[in-house]
Amino acid sequence: MLLGGLEPCSFSDYPGRPAAVLFTQGCNFRCPFCHNPDLLSLRPQKSLLPPVEEVLAFLAHRRARLGGVVISGGEPSIQEGLGDFLLQLKRLGYAVKLDTNGSRPGVLAELLAAGLVDYIAMDLKAPPGKYERLCGAPVDMAAIREAASLIAASGVAHHFRTTVVPSLLAADDLDQIRRALLPSGSRYVLQPFRPVPRVSLRARS
């Protein structure tokens, strides 16, 4: 389990809860608009990564002040040991929100079956015809659709979201996303592109 950074407290990342945000290191996409490019590599300088043990100790100390923990990235679902790590968070008494690109529905199914996530936010990057372009990598669209359907049917609180880069996505593209990828009845959030990196590799305290 590689953690690339820690935001000690956020009031906007977990709906209705003050939460710490943990950023996992490594991603299987290369979105040209990524606001955390330092988190893409699975082979960063290990000395820059916050040790998992120290992060867990920090969270144990902050239990009275925080209502949840957000696991973001990078892409958390590519991490070995993700389920074990989430189990440790649950044992600390935290509600867990997972941010994901939906590329690994099998991992999501395992986490949901084990009751390890309380909220999921899944990115819908683009309409199907533009997906690989906006992800900067090959994409299994069947996996994206499977993940979206799995999340929508799980009974777990969730929403889907699209980062809107005006030069890459037009209003018609957003309509196509709604029609082709958004499960019926699920909440859909449009978020503006932020060109400033969200987090550095070093933990912040």
Tell me the domain boundaries of the chain: 3-192
Name the E strands within 25-154.
Answer: 68-72, 95-100, 119-123
CA pair distance 136, 78, nearest whole angstrom: 17
Better-scored residue on pLDDT, 59 or 5: 59
Query: Tokens 């199907």 map to which residue?
Result: 128
pLDDT of residue 202: 46
Q: Report, as an integer, the average pLDDT of 15-41.
A: 91
134-154 residue pLDDT tens: 999 999 999 999 999 999 999
Q: How many CA atoms does the CB half-sphere of 17 hold within 13 Å? A: 18
Element (H, E) at 78: none
CA pair distance 158, 182, nearest whole angstrom: 12
76-122 residue pLDDT tens: 999 999 999 999 999 999 999 999 999 999 999 999 999 999 999 99
Asked if the 3-192 domain carries CATH number 1.10.3210.10, the reply is no
